[in-house]
Structure 1
Amino acid sequence: MHEVRERILARADEIAAEAEANDELGRLTDTTAEVLRSSGVIRMLQPVEHGGYEADPVEFFRTVRDIGVRSASAGWVAGVVGVHAFEIAQMDALVQKEIWSEDPDTWIASPYAPIGRAVPVEGGYQFSGRWPFSSGTDHCQWIVLGGMIVGDDGKPLPNGVRHFVLPRSDYEIQHDSWDVVGLRGTGSKDVLIEGAFVPAHRVLDPVAMEDGGLADQVGRGDSPLYRMPFHPMFTAGITTATVAMAQGALAAFVDAMRGRVTARGVKTANDPHQLAVLGRAIADIEASEVQLFADIERMWEQAQRGERFTPEQRLLVRRNQVRITRRAIDAVDELFLHAGGAVLRRGNPMQRFWRDIRAAANHASNVADPIYQAYGLNMFDKPTPPSVLY
């Protein structure tokens, strides 16, 4: 077991104890952030020369799972923010130095939706936009944002999607933008940029990371971690956090069953129907977790062999990921429906996990139909929409 994971498990009770406070605050509490920061989870995919671990990604995602079982919002932020170091490690060495030279524990936010518009200027781009859903952003000092390069007419250029990296001084967090019913503690607020200059060395074409080949180009070919495909790595953070919520909801349901008596005077622990519901849910949630980590392990073995990732291989992982989350969400829905009226009370942890996993279902990475359709098209040798692979 990785030392970071050991530290997380040693402080698991603290993570769980802060879950409700995260929701009330609308972001991770300083205590939760301190636990994550001091454990090193956000540095697990960070280069060794910048204070990171360059850890086995399977261990990283298992650590995210262990966090999310206790606090959905903390697991979500750990998964999302933790993957950003994986991308920055494949960018210009100057960017890495700017971010980590003074503080290796510097966190990096996102989102990647190509909302921004970048006007080419001497030495870089003039960049503007407003992005929703910047998870964990209050605790981050840098950000990676999706945008499109535009021509003289202001229209996006073909193949002009890029990732732009900016320091905290160049963007504003819209603190009144996060009022939601689920994943409240993630603090996934809007960020605003009005005409910030982004030098060219802080701009990356994300397509270059997709097959694992960028590692060779930037001098990281000797590290199998950076041969992993970017898109399935980022979405694995979302999938892992979602499965963790299901595990948390399951644990809360079991705890409630131990002492609950139905209106008919039957102990739920002896009720055949309740036990059948529980058995189905356990099987589905455990199946989701097995498939999730099997895919990560398979990709990791391939990266260690130095092999590139084909579109078909990446699409297979994405097909599995959306099915994994759907299976886990459905299991939690059934548990929630059979948990009794007490589950509606705000102090009941199960209602929080149910709200959180329902919010997770709306993340773009968990939207299933486009992935299934693309997989079907690929089976019949038809063009795959690029949007599902990049």
Structure 2
Amino acid sequence: MAQRARDLRPLIEGEAGQAEAQGRLTAHVVDALHEAGICGMWVPAPLGGGELSPKELLAVIETLSYADASTGWVAMITTLENGAAGAYLGDEAVERIFKGPRMPLFAGQGTRPGSAVRERGGYRLTGRWSFGSGMLHAQYTHSLAIVEDTGEPRMFVTPVEDITMLGNWDVLGLRATGSIDYAIDGAFVPESYTHPFAQFEPMRGGALYRLGLLDQALLCHSGWALGVGRRLLDKLIGHVGARAGRPGQLAGSDAFHTGFARAEAAFRAAAALVHQTWDDAERVLDSGGHLDVRQDTLVRLALNHITSTVAETARFVQASGGTTALREGPIQRLFRDVHAGMAHITSGPAVLAECGRELAGLAPGHAWVALGLEP
């Protein structure tokens, strides 16, 4: 699957500018992602999906994100969510959702909840959510809400016809993700179209889905950071090399050589932590287990570290790129996309502080609940 993603690079790169201008991926790119099987890479095998392993998913997302940050972002979110739906929803919902000739795409929000009221046979869902990445390409939404009376967080799947698209995507970077706000006003969601947010045993599919939804999202964002970080450095290599031999250029600067060496080393070290962490996690899953508290900590730490490292890389590339980095083009777009992506809640400073607390042995008897430690 990673090779199929690599084969799409010329198309994705060629249409990235148009995608940014229109605020969504081009139809050609979306069709190509479907035809390559990438839109089903997260879906359980019994439903005809690829059900890739964590390391395989990491490689595909990295490859797509290297080609274009927004394409990688949309692909990882829409496939994470259709995979979760396939793994965790009830049989009636799955039979309806996955019956078409194409894999359905999902978009939504799992961090800022709406509200749900229990009714006979299901729930009544209401709320407003921000940052519905990929919504303009989706057939279904996958939204977090808190059940009134019980306080349980659950994910609710609704067809896009049940939502109101609110727009509000005027941003610095990741413009082609179309991460619009949306609202749902009293839609009925049948029981089979909902599942607990913290579900670690799938209804169908194998080891991947024992990660639960949040850790799968952390895997997504780690792959994205790997791809855009490597692309930043490679773009700078090309920029500097094209100007080598001219008087006063960076290619002849010892200060630049030193800075680039440090940037390369920092990125490779952060990437190594991501790969080591997910190698270990995959071994646990393949043996039939679940991640323990320390492994959950390292999954969060690896994402936080690669994200902050890539942000530093972006600043170095922007400072080194001269007027090329200021003008509209791939380097400027990468710089903007990185800073939009690093604002995601999963990579925030509060998560890093919690990682430090657990690693320092200051949270005995605690476990991860979403992005925080609780007794």
Normalised to the residue count of structure 1, the TM-score between the two structures is 0.89
Counterpart CA distance in 1 for 2:319 and 2:369 is 38
Per-residue CA distance 1:56-103 (angstroms, 9 max, x = gap) = 221122011111111000011111112113312122122221211123
Identity %: 24
Structure 2 residue 367 is the aligned partner of structure 1 residue 367: no
How much does 1:270 deviate?
A: 2.0
* Structure 2: 5+ residue stretches without partners: none
Q: Which residue of 2 aligns with 1:183?
A: 174
Q: Which residue of 1 aligns with 2:235?
A: 252
How much does 1:312 deviate?
A: 2.9
Number of equivalenced pairs: 370
Counterpart CA distance in 1 for 2:169 and 2:194 is 28
Say if 1:73 and 1:183, in contact at 8 Å, map to a contact too.
yes
- One-letter amino acid of the structure 2 residue matched with residue 165 of structure 1: V
- One-letter amino acid of the structure 1 residue matched with residue 140 of structure 2: W
Counterpart CA distance in 1 for 2:368 and 2:88 is 25
- One-letter amino acid of the structure 1 residue matched with residue 214 of structure 2: H
Q: Which residue of 2 aligns with 1:121?
A: 119
Q: Of residues 188, 192, 206 in structure 2, which corresponds to 1:201?
A: 192
* Structure 1: 5+ residue stretches without partners: 152-156
Structure 2 residue 292 is the aligned partner of structure 1 residue 284: no
1:190 aligns to what SS in structure 2? strand
How much does 1:342 deviate?
A: 2.4
How much does 1:118 deviate?
A: 0.8
Counterpart CA distance in 1 for 2:187 and 2:171 is 29
Say if 2:107 and 2:138, in contact at 8 Å, map to a contact too.
yes
1:144 aligns to what SS in structure 2? strand
Structure 2 residue 330 is the aligned partner of structure 1 residue 349: yes
Superposition misfits of 4+ residues, deviation over 6 angstroms: none
Q: How does 1:14-29 map to 2 (within 5 A)?
A: 14-29=11-26
Structure 2 residue 31 is the aligned partner of structure 1 residue 48: no
Alignment CA distance shift 1:370-1:48 (3 Å) = closer
Counterpart CA distance in 1 for 2:71 and 2:303 is 20
Per-residue CA distance 1:288-338 (angstroms, 9 max, x = gap) = 222212222211111110012223321221122111211121122122112
How much does 1:350 deviate?
A: 0.6
Say if 2:172 and 2:340, in contact at 8 Å, map to a contact too.
yes
Alpha-carbon RMSD across the aligned residues, in angstroms, is 2.0
Alignment CA distance shift 1:371-1:384 (3 Å) = farther
Q: Of residues 132, 156, 164 in structure 2, which corresponds to 1:164?
A: 156
Counterpart CA distance in 2 for 1:52 and 1:43 is 5
Structure 2 residue 103 is the aligned partner of structure 1 residue 83: no
Q: How does 1:290-309 map to 2 (within 5 A)?
A: 290-309=272-291
Counterpart CA distance in 1 for 2:101 and 2:356 is 42
How much does 1:385 deviate?
A: 6.5
2:64 aligns to what SS in structure 1? helix
- One-letter amino acid of the structure 2 residue matched with residue 170 of structure 1: D
Per-residue CA distance 1:160-218 (angstroms, 9 max, x = gap) = 211111112211222x3111110001111111111100111112112222xxxx13xx3
Say if 1:51 and 1:104, in contact at 8 Å, map to a contact too.
no
Say if 1:343 and 1:351, in contact at 8 Å, map to a contact too.
yes
How much does 1:6 deviate?
A: 1.8
How much does 1:228 deviate?
A: 3.0
How much does 1:219 deviate?
A: 5.4
Q: Which residue of 2 aligns with 1:62?
A: 59
Counterpart CA distance in 2 for 1:350 and 1:53 is 33
Counterpart CA distance in 2 for 1:300 and 1:32 is 30
- One-letter amino acid of the structure 2 residue matched with residue 227 of structure 1: R
